[in-house]
């Protein structure tokens, strides 16, 4: 069976994945913490925690709240910063066979470009995922992803600053995600990933205050899956670049729905908190489905629900 997919078919350093299953940014750290939990090397790609130019402490606690069928987080991009990532993490990734995609975030367009430039040519970094969709930072983030012009401006700046393949990660919090997707594809994105979390809140009725230190957070997990699936279906029908589906994927059946909607690959996020083996179980379940259904190439399933 052939499960391999190309995420940047037109880019000169093609982003070749052995299979379509990836981690979702921010839910498996830098991968180095998880090597004892499951064999990361079996994944199609590993996406690391969002990285900024400077280290960030993130938002005040509490930063996580469980909700029915979902998780609300307001981490606020806590991370070690790009220099520490290059010094401490990239050398480890350079020894891995699984490609590592570095998720980048910034509050200003020029900082996205600086990050992209800094990561260009770093051994161990195979591609960038440009997060223009974080709901948990004061400026930038989802503001860029909500507007087609701003989204295109960030994409163009990153495109100019790096020779790495780039995925641009979209927010569901926009009135027209198709226009945003088309704008970033036109501006040079090799692939589009979606979705990031949906903004929400929880109130602690005993304290009569918002539960999260940041007041609001981003909702992820099974609760957002139908929303994510529909947005992937819409975007995959509107752009020529590969689409990576994300949002509430916990099982192979979930992943197959996204693939049939038009996703070339999928990311597993919140499900890993409950079950660290979830990404591998998703992969194994896809393999079993293909064997059962007599499918020889994953390409036969991509967009199958669209015809």
Ligand X SMILES: Cc1cc2nc3c(=O)[nH]c(=O)nc-3n(C[C@H](O)[C@H](O)[C@H](O)COP(=O)(O)O)c2cc1C
- Cβ nearer to ligand X, comparing 44 with 248: 248
- 97 CB neighbour count, 10 Å cutoff: 8
Q: Mutual orientation of helices 225-236 and 252-261 as an angle, nearest 10°?
A: 30
- Binding residue count for ligand X, defined by CB under 6 A: 27
Buried b (16+ CB within 10 A) or exposed e, 20-52: bbbbbbbbbebbeebeeebebeebbbbbbbbbb
Q: How far is CA 93 from the centre of its chain?
A: 18
Q: Does 295 bind ligand X (CB under 6 A)?
A: no
Tokens, residue 249: 């994927």
Q: Which of 134, 194, 198, 302 is catalytic?
A: 134
- Cβ nearer to ligand X, comparing 130 with 295: 130
- Cβ nearer to ligand X, comparing 44 with 269: 269
Secondary structure (3-state) at 264: coil
Q: Does 56 bind ligand X (CB under 6 A)?
A: no
For the bound state, the minimum distance from the C-beta of residue 156 to ligand X, rounded and expressed in Å, comes to: 19
- Cβ nearer to ligand X, comparing 256 with 295: 256
Q: Does 31 bind ligand X (CB under 6 A)?
A: no
Q: Does 270 bind ligand X (CB under 6 A)?
A: yes
For residue 147, count CB atoms less than 10 angstroms from its CB and return exposed for 0-12, middle for 13-18, buried for 19 or more.
Answer: middle
Question: By the criterion CB under 6 A, which residues form the site for ligand X?
Answer: 24-27, 49-50, 71, 73, 75, 77, 103, 131, 134, 169, 196-197, 220-221, 224, 246-249, 268-271
- Which positions are annotated as active-site residues? 134
């Amino acid at each position: 069976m052939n499960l391999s997919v190309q995420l940047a078919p037109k880019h000169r350093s093609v982003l070749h994945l052995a299979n379509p299953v990836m981690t979702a940014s921010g839910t498996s750290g830098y991968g180095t913490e998880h090597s004892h939990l499951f064999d990361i090397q079996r994944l199609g790609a590993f996406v690391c925690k969002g990285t900024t130019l400077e280290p960030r402490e993130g938002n005040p606690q509490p930063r996580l709240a469980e909700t029915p069928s979902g998780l609300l987080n307001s981490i606020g991009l806590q991370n070690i910063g790009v220099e520490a990532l290059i010094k401490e993490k990239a050398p480890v990734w350079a020894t891995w066979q699984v490609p590592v995609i570095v998720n980048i975030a910034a509050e200003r367009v020029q900082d996205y470009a600086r990050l992209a430039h800094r990561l260009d040519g770093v051994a161990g970094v195979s591609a960038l995922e440009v997060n223009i969709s974080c709901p948990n930072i004061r400026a930038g983030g989802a503001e860029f992803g909500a507007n087609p012009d701003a989204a295109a401006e960030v994409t163009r700046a990153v495109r100019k600053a790096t020779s790495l393949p780039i995925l641009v990660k979209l927010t569901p919090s926009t009135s027209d995600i198709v226009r945003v997707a088309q704008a970033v594809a036109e501006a040079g994105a090799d692939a589009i990933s979606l979705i990031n979390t949906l903004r929400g809140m929880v109130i602690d009725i005993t304290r009569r205050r918002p539960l999260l230190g940041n007041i609001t957070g981003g909702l992820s997990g099974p609760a957002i899956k139908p929303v994510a699936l529909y947005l992937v279906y819409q975007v995959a029908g509107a752009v020529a670049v590969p689409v990576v589906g994300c949002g509430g994927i916990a099982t192979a059946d979930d992943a197959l729905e996204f693939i049939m909607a038009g996703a070339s690959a999928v990311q597993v996020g919140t499900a890993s908190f409950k079950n660290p083996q979830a990404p591998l179980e998703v992969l194994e379940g896809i393999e079993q489905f293909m064997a059962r259904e007599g499918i020889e190439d994953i390409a036969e399933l991509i967009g199958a629900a669209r015809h």
